[in-house]
Amino acid sequence: MKPNYIAKTSIWRNLRLWKLLLWLLMWGAIVPLFLVGWDLFVDLGLEIVFFAVAGLLFFIPIIWFLIMNLIVKNRYLEFYNDKIIQHWGVLNKQENSAIFIGTTATNLKRPFRGRIFNYGHVQIDCAGKWDFEARFVKNPYRLIRYLNNKAIKATKAGKFVEI
């Protein structure tokens, strides 16, 4: 069965200031290494060590970024007519599902970075408690519009309460 809506995680989830500064520091260390270090390593006969250090400083941030993006791409929410399934994990896949009759309320939180990169954190209330928190959702207003179309009306909610 095909889901009605898929809420994907934003790629900007991994952009943290300290990571950006660390990447810039590592890439910035390559320039002085080439300017000063090359002569030093050649005089000592350690050209291979020079290229190993320069390669590590250059490729570790790229590999780290690719791994983090792989993790982000494997985290999403699927909305069906009768259930919500939350998926996460790369090697150890995990799922969390709940019955989805409709929503009673939604809550949207958008940090400053979320406004810039168009993501937000959406809390979904399905049956009187906050059931799901979809963090770092791409296009959060689109998800809110979808959930508002699935909102339980007051007359419809009474049918579920009657015994």
Q: What is the pLDDT of residues 106-127, one digit of tens each?
A: 888 988 888 888 888 888 887 6
- pLDDT score, position 151: 77
Condensed to tens digits (0 to 9), the pLDDT of residues 28-81 reads 777 776 766 667 777 777 777 777 777 777 787 778 777 777 777 778 888 888
Residue ranges covered by each domain of the chain = 1-152
- Burial of 119: CB neighbours in 10 Å, binned 0-12, 13-18, 19+: buried
For the entire predicted model, the pTM comes to 0.62
Nearest one of 139, 102, 112, 99 to 10, comparing CA atoms: 139
For residue 163, the model assigns a pLDDT of 45
Nearest alpha-carbon partner for 134 in 72, 71, 76, 74: 76
Q: What is the pLDDT of residues 73-102, one digit of tens each?
A: 778 888 888 888 888 877 777 888 877 777
